[in-house]
Copies of this chain bind each other. A is one copy, B any other.
């Protein structure tokens, strides 16, 4: 058997998220359909994590496994020729069978784009930003720092599907310039994210940026460990899964990279 790792980008606007669900259009389904069409046999693909309906990706990582006889295909060209134009293969690699798109990942980076003008929103940006209006940028910068490090993120997980272990580590949370003068980007890198955690963190930051709370509010919400205390979830279209990182096997042994991982396969 041969394992294939592909890196893909997609525009989440017209997808009901990553994961296969009956009766709706999902990225996983489009990908499996295209691979099956090429090989002539059903296939299962595994993503680094799910993304919600409307969430975009510029570096989602996926793996699948095929018999040697079917694996030697110019995958990038073949898939991009038949897939719809809202999903594309950026890169392909043959990897060791121990590689798993979800379980081998050690870090992920998401970028959330905010539109700060409230009188208008450029139409060409409407599917890629949250038009939240003016924010106090200094307050935002201060508040982001409270997320850094290891915390119990119980207050920032999705209400519907709580997980047991809600401790995660945020390695980076920075503000970057946007694609025009009306936007800013918030880039967050962590060892793993609970379901809707990024959108919940951004929802909280925007409340602070709007002056509804002080930057220290982040700490209070983290300490409360109660989702009902946190502000509303930011809308999906501002979010983009930017990069998934995989570790080199370390001197501590081939498993050490994997132990760093706390990915739940969610966004």
Contact = CB atoms under 8 A, between A and B. Distances in A.
A44 interface: no
A123 B86 contact: yes
**Copies per assembly:** 2
A120 B9 contact: yes
A85 B11 contact: no
A28 to B, nearest CB: 15
Contacts of A122: 9, 58, 88
Q: How large is the interface on A (under 10, 10 to 19, 20 to 34, 35 or more residues)?
A: 20 to 34
A103 interface: no
Contact of A124 (B76, B77, B123, B128): B128
Contacts of A10: 123
Interface string A89-130: 110000000000000000000000000000111111011100
Nearest to A131: B85
Nearest to A76: B119
A56 interface: yes
29 contacts: A9-B120, A9-B122, A9-B123, A9-B124, A11-B123, A11-B124, A11-B126, A56-B123, A56-B124, A58-B122, A58-B124, A76-B119, A76-B120, A77-B119, A80-B119, A80-B120, A85-B121, A85-B123, A85-B126, A86-B126, A87-B123, A88-B120, A88-B121, A88-B122, A88-B123, A89-B120, A90-B120, A124-B128, A179-B179
A-B interface, 6 closest residue pairs, ranked by CB to CB distance from nearest? A11-B123, A86-B123, A88-B120, A11-B124, A85-B126, A90-B120
